[in-house]
Amino acid sequence: MSEAERVICRVDRANRSAPGSSDNSCVRPAENIHRPHIQQAVNQLQTFKDLINRRSATMSEKEPADSGKSCLVGKKENLIEAKRTSVTVGDRVVVVIYHQGVFYAMDQHCYHAGGSLLNGDIEEIDNRLCIVCPKHKYKISMAEGEGLYISNPKDKDQPPCWKSKGIKQRVHKVTEVDGDIYVTLSETPGWIDSDYYQSEQGRMDLKLAKELDIAKSKSS
């Protein structure tokens, strides 16, 4: 910038900040655009807003596709040995879990942010068996798909206790016929939060999140 331009710029700033001036911005937009960290934050915000908009649009879909559909998912002995098995039923990705003599099936991607429940720990919480999502440790009851959380431990009026957020994860029915195991997709009507990650848009978001994780791990 020449000396003349610097003077013009100074005068311009003085004018903008003068009493009565309606323009009180003293920052030139060009300076912002060329700061990579600010531009990065703007991009991330835009991505987040796009995600929220897309999620809201998808949430207006009412019935899960393929509800009521049954599918042979494997031999009982193989599923018992594997303990956790990822299967596709219709267009849904489902995890089949064998635990303490009982089969469970639920959407594989966690309702919170799509983490895979395939390797989640199983804990008994408040007399209910729950799977703990490895990503952010949300607890989900395996029989009903309820999201459980502990009440505010700082609340002096009430000792901490487990509470339910309601059904958040879609669970499916498992049946056995002559040593074969079938999964029948849930027919519960209406929206359940885990439906999002079974939609086209949810899958694209998962793919994008995976690519971002890989890029981050490479750069660190």
Q: Which is nearer to ligand FES, 79 or 130 (CB)?
A: 130
Neighbour-count burial for 172-210, b at 16+ CB within 10 Å, e otherwise: bebeeeeeebbbbbbeeeebbbbbbbbbeebbebbeeee
Q: Which is nearer to ligand FES, 110 or 148 (CB)?
A: 110
In the complex, minimum distance from the CB of residue 119 to ligand FES, in angstroms, rounded to a whole number: 12
Nearer to ligand FES, 106 or 110 (CB): 110
Rounded CA-CA distance 76/157 in Å is 49
Q: Which is nearer to ligand FES, 92 or 112 (CB)?
A: 112
Q: How far is the CB of 173 from ligand FES (least distance, A)?
A: 23
d(CA 29, CA 34): 9
- In whole angstroms, the minimum distance from the beta carbon of 135 to ligand FES comes to 4
Give the nearest distance from C-beta 205 to ligand FES in angstroms. Answer: 12
Q: Could you give the 3-state DSSP secondary structure of residue 212?
A: helix
Kindly list the residues in this chain that would bind ligand FES in the complex (CB under 6 A).
110, 112-115, 133, 135-136, 138
Alpha carbon 186 to its chain's center:
20
